[in-house]
Amino acid sequence: MLERFLIVFVAIMVCIHPSYQRRQTFKCNDYVTETTSYHRSGISFRMGPHYICYLSNVIQVSSAIEIVDEIISHAFVDGNSAIIEPREVGAIVVKNSNFIVLPSQLFNKFRNLLVFRASDVNLRQISREDFRDTEHLTILHLDRNQIFDLEDGILMYLKRLQRLDLSRNMITAINEDTFSGCSSDLYEVDLSYNRITKLDYSTLIPLAHAKKLSVELNLNFNEIKEIHESHRVDHLTFEALQLKNNLLESFTCPDIKIGELHLENNRLQLLSFDNCSVEYLIVSQNHLNWLHIHGDLKGLVASHNKISSFVVSGADTEIYHFDLSENENINHVFPSLKEMNEMQFLNLSHSFIGVLEPETFTNMRELKYLFLKDCGIEIIPFEVFGNNKRMMTLDISDNLLETIDLHMFVGLDRLKILDISGNKLNKIDGFERVRSILPELSEIRIDGNRFECNDLRVILKTFEGLGINVIMPNYSSHSKSVSGIECY
């Protein structure tokens, strides 16, 4: 009797063993309203309320089709045993499955589907016809698969598509017809981490023509060596064009307008914006020797190049964010810098300046953040910051300053943070008048200098008495120190 009971028990255990539980399933638990939004302009879209259903453990597509038939022939229920109609399903997410081709019958059964995600399911091929019944589909994620080819007009049936993610596949090329007929709401296309080697502006006409929502096209981490224009394009518009980590040696552009252009980590030696307009340009980690700053540019990050000069076109540049850090000797750029009246953020750290001219920052009345770390600066002329009444942060650490008189900083009425660490200072003249010169100063960093310990004690005590926070270094290897700051 007991034996028989044991056999039955073991049989039951085998049946509910985890390997048996990895059956194909289709579960709909979440009944939600989803919102998605545009990265730069912040326009947002609402979807639902609808069910999000999870299709799991499909071994091959034919079984997915069976599963769908089964779902449709019986009513299926959510976690609270409510009956769900296929038309209430707004999103399907595929997990732990192996597809090879898309189960397009799904789209036929779930006519109101807005979102379909099948990431990392071994998908090898997609075709235009797969999407024949996707009239409402808005978001399509097919990332982390092995798709290598995009058929012409691949998106032509996806008339409502807004976001497409094909990142981390094996796509080698896009041609003139790849995106033809795509939805005019398509505003995000992610093709990053593929194997695209060439880019032709004319292939982007369907994505970026002026009458559709302006697109964010991500081509980061491909193998693009050249960009050309096989035939003329007019008025293309990109919210963002991302080309970082490719193999570009030169970049020119035709009649296009780009909100944000990412070109960091290429091999660029030549950059030309003769006929196009770019608002924000990020071009760090390239081999540029010089830069052309055109009239529309508002922000420019060009750190880690070899820039020693630039040309500014147009009398009024609107540039307000400029990062020219980690370049070479940038002394020659100062005459042009002086014209940049709108500047709010300027980072010149780790580029060589040597001598600060008295008028360098005179016209930058809006300047709020100035970073001059490690610029080989030996002298700060008196009142060089006389016009910078809005400045809040000033970093002149790691330079060669031997003396500082706080009167050099007259004019910095709103300065909150001052960093003069890592220089050769043995005193700070006028420190006892710090409150009248820098009335809003709240933080100062002074370590890494050559103060005598007695002088340092007096300085620290004065700052402490005035409620100015002295930022401490994390460690000091020096044998003598006061409050963690080394001294002699």
Query: Which residues of this chain interact with ligand NAG, rule CB under 6 A?
Result: 252, 254, 272, 274-275, 303, 325-326, 347, 349-350, 371, 471, 473-474
**For residues 12 and 210, which CB has a smaller minimum distance to ligand NAG in the complex?**
210
Nearer to ligand NAG, 371 or 409 (CB): 371
Nearest to ligand NAG of 274, 464 (CB atom): 274
Nearer to ligand NAG, 325 or 449 (CB): 325
In the three-class reduction of DSSP (H, G, I as helix; E, B as strand; rest coil), residue 117 is classed as strand
Q: Is the dihedral of CA 441, 300, 211, 174 positive or negative?
A: negative
**469: CB partners within 8 A, 6+ apart:** 442, 443, 444, 463
Task: Quote the CA–CA distance of 97 and 58 in Å, as a whole number.
Answer: 5
Q: Evaluate whether 486 touches 476 at the Cβ level (below 8 Å).
A: yes
CB of 232 to ligand NAG, least distance (A): 9
Residue nearest to ligand NAG (CB): 325
CB of 252 to ligand NAG, least distance (A): 4
DSSP string, 139-159: EEE--SS------TTTTTT-T
Q: What value does the CA radius of gyration of the chain take, rounded to a whole number of Å? A: 31
User: ω before 49 within 30° of 0 (cis)?
Assistant: yes
Give least dist CB 189 to ligand NAG, A: 24
469: tokens are 């926070």
Question: Are the C-beta atoms of residues 448 and 486 closer than 8 Å to each other?
Answer: yes
Q: Residue 220 or 349: which CB sits closer to ligand NAG?
A: 349
209 vs 292, which CB is nearer to ligand NAG?
Answer: 292
395: closest CA among 359, 354, 348? Answer: 348
Please tell me the distance from the alpha carbon of residue 327 to that of residue 175, in angstroms, as a whole number: 37
Measured from the CB of residue 394, what is the shortest distance to ligand NAG in angstroms? 12
Q: With CA atoms as reference, report the closest residue to 113 among 130, 93, 137, 132.
A: 137
CA distances from 236 to 214, 233, 273, 369 (A): 9, 7, 14, 34
Q: Which is nearer to ligand NAG, 142 or 370 (CB)?
A: 370
H-run or E-run covering 2? helix 2-15
Count of C-beta atoms within a 10 Å radius of residue 112:
15
| Angle CA 91–96–101, to nearest 5 | 75
Q: How far apart are CA 81 and CA 110, in angstroms?
A: 20
Least Å distance, CB 328 to ligand NAG, is 14
Task: Report the residue number, 49 or 314, with the smaller CB distance to ligand NAG.
Answer: 314
If the CB atoms of residues 30 and 419 are measured against ligand NAG, the closer one turns out to be: 419
Q: How far is the CB of 284 from ligand NAG (least distance, A)?
A: 8
Pick 35 or 272: Cβ nearer ligand NAG: 272
**Residue 347 beta carbon to ligand NAG: minimum distance, rounded to whole angstroms:** 4
C-beta of residue 199 within 8 angstroms of C-beta of residue 173? no
Q: How far is the CB of 151 from ligand NAG (least distance, A)?
A: 31
Q: What is the dihedral of CA 360, 363, 366, 372, to 10 degrees?
A: 0
